[in-house]
Structure 1
Amino acid sequence: MSTHNVHAPPGGVHASPGAGEHPNTILIRDGYIAFAKGDMEIIRSLLHERVVHRVLGRGPLCGEYRTPTEVLGFYVRVFELSGGTFRSEPYAVMAGDDYAVALVHTYAERPGKVLDGRAVNVFRIEDGRITEIRTLAEDQYADDAFWS
């Protein structure tokens, strides 16, 4: 059983947005809310036509997903493999004009396995849409083993 127990700090992005919050922080937060609801239409609207999602590591889901269709297909596959248990909940989101970073708590279950850890998602943003996502797990070996 591949398990690592790491819990996100309390608070996080569930707090009310600040008055001076960068628009890209809101864009990324909205994406995570849509992801939690499984709202692929909203997620699709946030992705640029030239989007690429790079999932680092050596597991079966690692690689590059290009185009919104491939990226959404990757998300569907994650939900399928985890029996709908996968969650990626941000506890901190920071953004500027071109980039955003989300620190996330990830959780999922598979028969005989639990994934409970942290990751960093780095986003590149152009014209209000996501052009690149890089996912970096805190414990890449545990992530690779979980999805294998």
Structure 2
Amino acid sequence: MQIRVQQDDFDFGDECRHFATGRQDTGAVVTFCGIVRAPDTGILHRMEIEHYPGMTERAIARIAQTAQDRWNLTEGLVIHRYGALRPGERIMMVATASRHRADAFAAADFLMDYLKSRAPFWKKEITDQGADWVAAKDADEAALSRW
């Protein structure tokens, strides 16, 4: 499982092509790209994402290992950005590969739910109405109960 926590942007198409190329033990690849979106109210100028280097990668590695153990993945990829991101910019990517699509879809869904709710990132939205830390949402927490 590849894990990258980085400030720089990534090319989603290039990452997908590279991830899916040359696999003979894989029958399915599932990808997801998260994008910074505007809040329900106000105008988002940017989202500032903070993390603790080392701690964040270890936490994501534990989540990824759980996915690897639970579903028969042949490979996985998690990319998550930090720093100041503007609306429409890529914030993260998950890719899973497996012999069968059900495992690839379930593992990707699991990783996205856990990254959204448990990965140690702190997000602050800077809007025309001020700056606020992004709070955990009940719906995101409820999604974890599926697993």
TM over 0.5: no
Q: Which has the higher contact order (CA 8 A, sep 6+)?
A: 2
TM-score after normalising by structure 2: 0.30
Structure showing greater radius of gyration is: 2
